[in-house]
Amino acid sequence: MRDTGEYLFTSESVSEGHPDKVADRISDTVLDAFLSADPYSRVACETLVTTNRVVIAGEVRGPGSVTPDYLKHLARLAIHDIGYEQDGFHWQNASVECHLHAQSAHIAQGVDAAGNKDEGAGDQGIMFGYACTETPELMPAPLYYAHLILRRINELRRIKNPSVEGLLPDAKSQVTLKYVDGKPVGATSIVLSTQHVEGMEQAQIKAMVKPLIAAALPDGWMCPDAELYVNPTGQFVIGGPDGDCGLTGRKIIVDTYGGAAPHGGGAFSGKDPTKVDRSAAYAARYVAKNVVAAGLADKCTIQVSYAIGVAKPLSVYFDLHGTGRDVDEVKLAKVIDGLVNLSPRGIREHLHLNRPIYVPTSAYGHFGRTPDDETGTFTWERTDLVPELKRAFGR
């Protein structure tokens, strides 16, 4: 995004009950099940959800104690936790199929450490990390508030708060913010589409969610009432996987930076940390966030690239978007190289990724979340590199 003039920028989010997010949740449930049984399991799990049907497929290498029947049971529990007990998609009645098979030996030989060879990347690819000063979480503001609106509504729905009575799990939000000289100053329009029970009127739902949306935004940021679009098609009763087929990995921009930064193309959910699509994207966010948290720049983008079976990154690129405070990007790359090992093994050990920590990432974004030392989740959101970075640049 530009740092001069006035412009509008929009990002969207989807709730945990969105069909694609249901698929992500099940894939990450499978991953966590294998990592719980063996922290070095290999998992590449894809899920399809549609009307009363769930299909789980992919490649794994892990203990036989994680059986297809057990994974089907966990999938049902995940659907129940999200809140689906509808005729077209019910946690008890849906057909659940599991078609996981052994990981390719040719992929395994490239990834496994052997002799003098370190653990290699699970695939080729480019990954990006990003951070900016638009929010305390160092995330782009349009995406942050799009997530927050849905999270707040969903939290109330889960505890059956009367203020959201009648709202169901599937929902989408979209937030358009006005920027002046690179800083967000308020919302110009907001879209919220939320599934609901039969019989609720559009005006009733708008009156219900308007105060919740306003409360999620900073003071004075609420858009005009005419620019608040709630269920603009009028009715949203048929939703979730019954209304639209869902697939793992189809909301990668929602998962990352809402379009405010580049995305390498690889999805996250259902992949163990040898897959750099996931682990290196986490590491790149970790580095970018620490650079901004240290006050070295207002914005930071990092790109990292890998080749399958090769441990060392092929390239590491920094862009401070002209906001660096007397920080040379070449020196920054060297400093980071001394602080963080960006090989697949280095990443998973530094960020403690070989643990069953992934279900919480499957909705409302993988970044901008609060790290939890007790559960070990979102370690890539820590800012523990800040002292070393400040010292390296004399701050």
Question: Which residues participate in the annotated binding site for L-methionine?
Answer: 59, 103, 244, 275
Q: Which amino acid is present at 92? A: Q
**Which residues touch 322 (CB under 8 Å, ≥6 apart)?**
3
The CA distance from 158 to 81, in Å, is 9
The CA distance from 328 to 282, in Å, is 23
Dihedrals phi, psi of 53, to nearest 5 degrees: -150, 135
Element (H or E) spanning 192, and its range?
strand 183-196
Q: Which residues are annotated as a binding site for ATP?
A: 18, 170-172, 244, 250-251, 267, 271
Q: Give the 3-state secondary structure of residue 50.
A: strand
Q: Give the 3-state secondary structure of residue 296.
A: coil
Q: Which amino acid is present at 101? A: H
Structural tokens at position 309: 């079976």
Structural tokens at position 277: 């699509």
**How much helix, strand and coil, in percent to the nearest 5, is found in the chain?**
35, 25, 40
Q: Which residues are annotated as a binding site for Mg(2+)?
A: 20
- Judge contact between 124 and 173, C-beta under 8 A: no
Q: Which residues are annotated as a binding site?
A: 18, 20, 46, 59, 103, 170-172, 244, 250-251, 267, 271, 275
Element (H or E) spanning 54, and its range?
strand 53-61
Structural tokens at position 15: 């709730």
Cα–Cα nearest to 222, from 328, 295, 326, 149: 149
The CA distance from 371 to 378, in Å, is 5
H-state helical runs in 67-165 = 68-82, 105-111, 141-158
Q: Which amino acid is present at 177? A: L
Q: Which residues are annotated as a binding site for K(+)?
A: 46
The CA distance from 296 to 323, in Å, is 8
Cα 295-299-304 angle, rounded to 5 deg: 110
Strand partners, 317: 303
Q: How many angstroms separate the most distant Cα atoms in the chain? A: 67
